[in-house]
Structure 1
Amino acid sequence: MIVILFRILILIALALLVYTVYQYYRNPERKMQIAKAKDDFYIVDEPTNSKKNIQFVYKNCLFEGEKYLGTTEDSFEVVNISVFARDPGELGGITRDDLYFIEKELLIRYPHAKIEWKHPINKLLLTIIE
């Protein structure tokens, strides 16, 4: 009887171990850190939850966007996204074309949204192109 109990406990421990490894590989924060190390674009978002902020990585810089809900012609949608860099020191190497790429990616997910850039990113968009 005690041997069967130990076998059941070992099976439960193995199932818990497999579940923990699975959750580790599915963790969006881990995927974001990997994308940051590889200089890739990766976005973490819950489109159905308008209260949760958007987090994304592009060119080794971590951005966050606050979503604001509003009305469109026929429904309530995200109508405004305020984007800022978590660490402005990481913005080195980000160009205006990179910001346009980020805006395009956000507008694909939220077509009714207006993208607002917070300081210091908005200074790059306001400068005159020579």
Structure 2
Amino acid sequence: MGLLIRIIFLMIILLLIYSGIRYLLHPKRKLELAHEQKRFYFLDDPNNVRKNFTLTYKGVLFEGEKYLGTTTDSFDVISIFVFPKDVGALKGLTKNDFKTIEQHILQHYKNAKIDWKSPIKEFLNSDDNLPNQTM
């Protein structure tokens, strides 16, 4: 009976160690950590076109919808729509920040055309020569 209790106790300890290692190495945890630290992190399953990717940049969480199409020689992701999870978190981001995000996405999907959803789309298409409106 004492040997059985020791084996069960050892199995519980091994299970806890295994669970802890899986938690520390889980990609969603890495995404959350990068989001809190306002660093860039790209979470994606490149083999699953139906699954959206998630990225974080300067504390803003974005999601990208991938669409499959044809290129000259293969089927590939040809269109990506990117949108923020929280529009209020966009405060302080510049056009250069969005260009940097596009460059990171294009590293993974070279044939893709990136489209931004509102309000980022309007911001990127706005004319830089407009005067600042102050009240």
Q: Fold conserved (TM > 0.5)?
A: yes
**Cα distance in 1 for residues equivalent to 2:75 and 2:2:** 59
**Cα distance in 2 for residues equivalent to 1:79 and 1:7:** 57
**Cα distance in 1 for residues equivalent to 2:11 and 2:80:** 45
- Equivalent residue number for residue 113 of structure 2: 114
- Equivalent residue number for residue 51 of structure 1: 50
What's the CA shift string for 1:43-100, capped at 9, x where partnerless?
1101111111010000110000000111111111111110000110000011100000
Q: Secondary structure at the match of 2:83?
A: strand
Report deviation, 1:29: 2.2
**TM-score where L is the length of structure 2:** 0.91
Runs (5+) with no aligned partner, structure 1: none
2:21 is the alignment partner of 1:6? no
**TM-score where L is the length of structure 1:** 0.95
Report deviation, 1:5: 1.0
- Equivalent residue number for residue 87 of structure 1: 86
| Aligned partner letter, 2:37 | K
Percentage of pairs with the same residue: 44
**Cα distance in 2 for residues equivalent to 1:40 and 1:55:** 13
What's the CA shift string for 1:90-123, capped at 9, x where partnerless?
0001110000000000001000000000001101
Report deviation, 1:27: 2.1
**RMSD (Å), alpha carbons:** 0.9
The 5-angstrom pairing of residues 1-130 of structure 1 reads: 2-130=1-129
Q: Secondary structure at the match of 2:62?
A: strand
**Cα distance in 1 for residues equivalent to 2:87 and 2:101:** 16
**Cα distance in 2 for residues equivalent to 1:30 and 1:59:** 17
**Cα distance in 2 for residues equivalent to 1:73 and 1:5:** 64
